[in-house]
Amino acid sequence: MKILIVNGPNLNLLGKREPGIYGARGFEDYYNELKKRYPEVEFDYFQSNVEGELINKLHEVGFSWDGIVLNAGAYTHTSVALQDAIRGINTPVIEVHISNVHKREEFRHHSMISCACQGVICGFGLDSYRLAVEAFLAQK
Ligand code: DQA
């Protein structure tokens, strides 16, 4: 099983960025733990602050990989182009968020991409990514 984790804008700052909301742990550290926990899964990780680069990555893997775990960051709430990209590929995408966006500002309550994703997991901290991996494994 090949699973790609994609993080969007500002998620390169995890561990430093608003730790009260996103926690004090950097993503690389968490990602290494995830890889150890699921040795049977072939993971790859991609982060970009640039919308078009996220789209290019979805196009690149979206016809051959088994699953994509996508935290689109703030593009979640704005990007028609990401919604179209998810609709345009075959690989199922699970939308994840570290924080519970529904407990936060109103502009975070709407996602432009949920309607194109297989499902949504939010509010479990970094564990949201693992729960998405579990969801893919359960469908194997
Ligand atoms: C986020 C929630 C978004 O609203 C925000 O813009 C982010 C992170 C999350 O993981 O909780 O950058 O996707």
pLDDT in tens, 14-43: 999 999 999 999 999 999 999 999 999 999
**pLDDT of residue 45 exceeding 90:** yes
Q: Which helix (H) or strand (E) holds 93?
A: strand 93-97
**pLDDT of residue 140 exceeding 90:** no
118-134: pLDDT as tens digits: 999 999 999 999 999 99
Distance 76 CA to ligand 1 centre (A): 8
Q: Do 93 and 83 touch, CB atoms closer than 8 A?
A: no
- Is the distance from the beta carbon of residue 74 to the nearest atom of ligand 1 less than 6 Å? yes
Closest ligand 1 atom, CA of 108? 4
Ligand 1 mutation pick, 98, 117, 130, max ligand atoms within 8 A of CB: 98
Burial class (CB in 10 A: 0-12, 13-18, 19+), 102: exposed
Distance between CA atoms of residues 95 and 20, nearest Å: 22
